[in-house]
Amino acid sequence: MLAPVAVALVLALVFQSALALLMGVIGPLMVVGGWWESRRRGALKHSAALLEFEDQLVEHEGVVERARRDVRDRATRLHPGIQDWAHDALWRGPPPATETLSVGHTRWYPPPGHPLAGTGAIGGMPALVDMTRGLALVASDDQHSLWRALALQWRAHSHAVIPSWDLGDPPPRDFRGPSRLVWVSATTDIPADCLAIVIHRGGVMAELHVPGEPPQDVVLATLSHAEAMRIPRDRLGVSDVVDSEPDLARRDQLWVSLAQRGPFFDLLSEGPHTVVWGATGSGKSVTVVALVSSLARHYPPDHVVCVLIDFKGGAGLAPLAALPHTVGWVTDLAPDSSRRALRGLRSEMTRRERILEAATRADWSELDSSLEAPRLVIVIDEVAWLLANQPLWAEVITDIAARGRSLGVHLVLSTQRLSGVITRAMMANISFRVCGRVTDEAELREGMPDASASLASALRHVRPGQALVAGALSPPQMSAVDQAQPRSRDDSPASWKVWADALPAVIPWRDGGTGESPWAWRECLDTHSAVRVPGLMGPGSVAIVGDRFSGRTTAAYALAWTHAGAFMAPHDGASLWVCLNAVSGTDRTLVVDDVDILLHGTAPEGEAFLVDALEGFSGALLMTMSARHRLSRSLSRLASQVLVMPIAKPEDRDVWGASSRSCPGAGLWNGEDIQVVHGAPAPTLWVAPDVSPVPELPQPPGLSQVPVVVTNTPQEWARSPITEVIDSTHHSSAWAAVARYRVGQPILIDGLNHRDVRSLLQGGPWIPPLSPPEGSLWLWDGSRPVLTTRERWRG
């Protein structure tokens, strides 16, 4: 600063010029002035910038506060508390998909990444709990206002019917809504199925514990008696049922629940059919039992009846068997009952159509209440096994799913999986769906595509006793499932029948010689009772096929008594052939028992000979035979009707179309299951006329000459009173001797077969290719071969 002045002074002395001295002084003054001006302008600019920053800071703080207020307001609108319900005249109930509940207010810190992160806690935010995971309030017994606020909200979020209480009175301390809600006095009393816990700390302060989150301090909502009474009842979202219990007398409703404390669902509007699915051990059978038990508790047997079809041995649905509502039970341990049930259900659908037609109504709910017309609930446990192993059931189940609603028939199906088991055609009519624990979310989506991600996640870990429920009108929600033994009203057993009771394994024959006892009984599909089976109405033959000890002989005896003039055929081929020739041309009926064994005991030529004789018989034959003999199918074609008795091997059963019933006397006759009576005596045995003639049978012609005998043991005939003994072992001499007697001469054949006779006699006399029975001989009586006894001719 002084250097320019010094330089200017030196120059002024050197050049003796005042101007130089003046310029040396002005320069520093100009520098000082410029510095001062710059400083003044900087101060002014800083002051303006500071004022602008303060204005922007105030504006930013206002934006943040408005954003925080908007977040709080939006959360409050989405999750209004009980006080909002009481004071908002325009509030109309929670949104249908709401799964969270506000228990009060808390401070919320925006997480990292949130637009409001770092702005501090937001007070007055709803303290939310997941309603699908259960909630427990731990508070002293005098905290009614706290409990009333929680319980009333819990109820309003239940999109189903819950047993009501007076809004001003303290609610029950344990009940079901979307999940379980309880009020306990100590933390040790908290149930395992309540994962969210509210612990009262005094006044309205509490501590909220939610799995996976740190504890939160909460200001709880309260609701006094007066405030509760000010809430309009139509704001609860279930206004049509809050005032009273479900109307169980209405024919157009059918209320069910999985737990005694609710919620309740109207099966007609939510279904009309039900499917329960879940992994093994998830409690499917328990769920089905709980559902049917709720029907039995609330409806008498003249309003609802049920049929149980259990293909897990019957254990799963066994608790329901003793209910008076149960009118039929089918298990895989009694396979024959499945066939009866299938036939009975088809008949039941037709029967119900006729009832509607006679009443000129289009729907079961329109029938007059005075008419006995119970709804039918068909419960099928493990339906996958049934559809896979008995395909005929798929057609019946699909038909019931499509037409059951209007006919008052409802399905309750249980299976481990939906995909690949229940067709889309069936699922289109099954709207009430209950899902237990599943590990594959796709399996849940198959039946409940609108279930939220939180519900799907919770369902992976639920214990037996909880299930996810959804209906045609109700969104998916968690529900408890009772495991109590079913209890019904004090009612008499249902009089309605879907099929007749199983025919007794043994039905005694009680004819007593009057001819009035039926030979068998069958189930009548129209009356669901046992009726007589008509006997033989003409000369047609009957083949009775079955295993040994199946009752085929008993059936032949019983059937023979329905036809006058029946006789028991001899048990050897030769006598049978004689009998067939002797009786042919009459209206007689012959019982040929074990015809397959009889044919098996003859030579091949004799077998074919006898089959021809049976085919040419003009009367009626009742032939019993094994299902496995090579000639059984051929012999059955000789009959106009076939009675199939029990057959053990499945492949043989399929060939004959036999029933799976295994008790002796059970048969399939004209496509219907029958039970043959037991104890009918055997018909009179037909005996060859020359031994013990049977009255009314034609006698063999008398012999005009004493016969000769052709034998290979002539020494045995040495003393016999016969014309001549011809030794067949000497062929040439025997031929010459026989030649003298061939015309009209009776000839006894001893020890020779039909080929020997044909070779020796060369035309004329002949015998069939059948060996005579022990002690008998073939006798050519001059026109035909007949049987005679050896003792008669040896004297």
Location of structure tokens 């409001």: 116
Per-residue tokens: 774:
């022990």
Q: Residue 241 has what pLDDT?
A: 37
Is there a single domain that holds both residue 95 and residue 26?
no
| 29 lies in some domain | yes
Q: Of 243, 256, 265, 278, whose CA–CA distance to 477 is shortest?
A: 265
How far CA 118 is from CA of 65, 139, 749, in Å, comes to 13, 35, 125
Q: Residue 165 has what pLDDT?
A: 52
Q: Residue 703 has what pLDDT?
A: 46
Per-residue tokens: 126:
């709803």
| 146 φ/ψ angles, rounded to the nearest 5 degrees | -65, -50
* Total-model pTM: 0.63
Q: Residue 316 has what pLDDT?
A: 79
| 496 lies in some domain | no
Q: Residue 693 has what pLDDT?
A: 33
Per-residue tokens: 530:
């046992």
Q: Report angle CA 307, 312, 316 to the nearest 5 degrees.
A: 65
Is there a single domain that holds both residue 284 and residue 395?
yes
| 249 lies in some domain | no
- Please state, in angstroms and rounded to a whole number, the distance separating the CA atoms of residues 53 and 306: 80
Is there a single domain that holds both residue 576 and residue 643?
yes
Q: Of 575, 574, 576, 572, whose CA–CA distance to 598 is shortest?
A: 572
Is there a single domain that holds both residue 275 and residue 421?
yes
Ranges of residues in the chain with a pLDDT under 50 are 90, 95-97, 160-162, 234, 237-244, 691-704
Is there a single domain that holds both residue 260 and residue 177?
no
| 486 lies in some domain | no
In angstroms, how far is CA 191 from the centroid of its own chain?
Answer: 33
- Please state, in angstroms and rounded to a whole number, the distance separating the CA atoms of residues 382 and 404: 20
Of 29, 51, 76, which one is at a domain's C-terminal end?
76
Q: How many domains does the chain have?
A: 5
Task: Tell me the CATH number at 337.
Answer: 3.40.50.300
| 367 lies in some domain | yes
- DSSP, collapsed to helix, strand or coil, labels residue 699 as coil
Q: Residue 352 has what pLDDT?
A: 93
Is there a single domain that holds both residue 671 and residue 720?
no
| 491 lies in some domain | no
Domain, as residue range, for 512: 507-685
Dihedral sign for Cα 418, 422, 427, 430, please.
negative
Of 190, 208, 242, which one is at a domain's C-terminal end?
242
Q: Residue 719 has what pLDDT?
A: 75
Q: Residue 324 has what pLDDT?
A: 92
In this structure, the dihedral spanned by the alpha carbons of residues 129, 134, 135 and 141, taken in order and rounded to 10 degrees, is 160
Is there a single domain that holds both residue 529 and residue 547?
yes
| 697 lies in some domain | no
Is there a single domain that holds both residue 104 and residue 68?
no
SS3 per-residue string spanning 419-448: CCCCCHHHHCCCCEEEECCCCCHHHHHHHC
Q: Residue 419 has what pLDDT?
A: 83
Is there a single domain that holds both residue 336 and residue 445?
yes
- Please state, in angstroms and rounded to a whole number, the distance separating the CA atoms of residues 481 and 485: 12
Is there a single domain that holds both residue 93 and residue 149?
yes
Is there a single domain that holds both residue 210 and residue 344?
no
| 573 lies in some domain | yes
- Please state, in angstroms and rounded to a whole number, the distance separating the CA atoms of residues 794 and 711: 13
Is there a single domain that holds both residue 375 and residue 473?
yes
* Cα first-last separation, the chain: 182
- Please state, in angstroms and rounded to a whole number, the distance separating the CA atoms of residues 430 and 270: 9
- Please state, in angstroms and rounded to a whole number, the distance separating the CA atoms of residues 250 and 256: 14
Of 187, 221, 242, which one is at a domain's C-terminal end?
242
